[in-house]
A = this chain, B = another copy of it.
């Protein structure tokens, strides 16, 4: 079912610093910050030859990454995003297998349908599925 690793999301409370580390120390290609108010984050994209890293900083109140940063003030890996052909079919299959799907299918940060899966059912890792 899962295809490419679309991105690894890293939450940070200091996006400028995290972006500078990836640009200046790790020598990666780093985008300008992009505000995504409907997702409650500001994001910097780190382009790698085979996938990307998304550096996320909370934006506004009720950011979905605020609780994570309270528990992990230094930041850290927040979720993995795998591509699937059909998010709706993936949700139906995973539910039939007893896995917990978090909330409803939504339009994600890349304008495509996405779904989040409960970390407790996936080895402690929050997983996003994005329709490719």
Say yes or no: B51 contacts A10, CB within 8 Å.
no
- CB-CB nearest in chain B for A1: B27
The verdict on A107 contacting chain B, using a C-beta distance below 8 Å, is: no
Say yes or no: B55 contacts A2, CB within 8 Å.
no
The verdict on A105 contacting chain B, using a C-beta distance below 8 Å, is: no
Q: How many positions in chain A have a CB within 8 Å of any CB in the partner chain?
A: 40
- Select one of B3, B26, B55, B82 contacting A82, CB under 8 A: B26
Say yes or no: B4 contacts A50, CB within 8 Å.
yes
The verdict on A28 contacting chain B, using a C-beta distance below 8 Å, is: yes
Cα–Cα distance between A82 and B125 once the two chains are bound (Å): 20
The verdict on A124 contacting chain B, using a C-beta distance below 8 Å, is: yes
Q: Mark A47-63, 1 if CB is under 8 A from B, else 0.
A: 01111010100000000
Cα–Cα distance between A121 and B49 once the two chains are bound (Å): 23
Say yes or no: B125 contacts A10, CB within 8 Å.
yes
5 nearest A-B pairs in the assembled complex, by CB-CB distance: A1-B27, A75-B124, A76-B124, A74-B124, A77-B77
The verdict on A120 contacting chain B, using a C-beta distance below 8 Å, is: yes
Say yes or no: B76 contacts A25, CB within 8 Å.
no
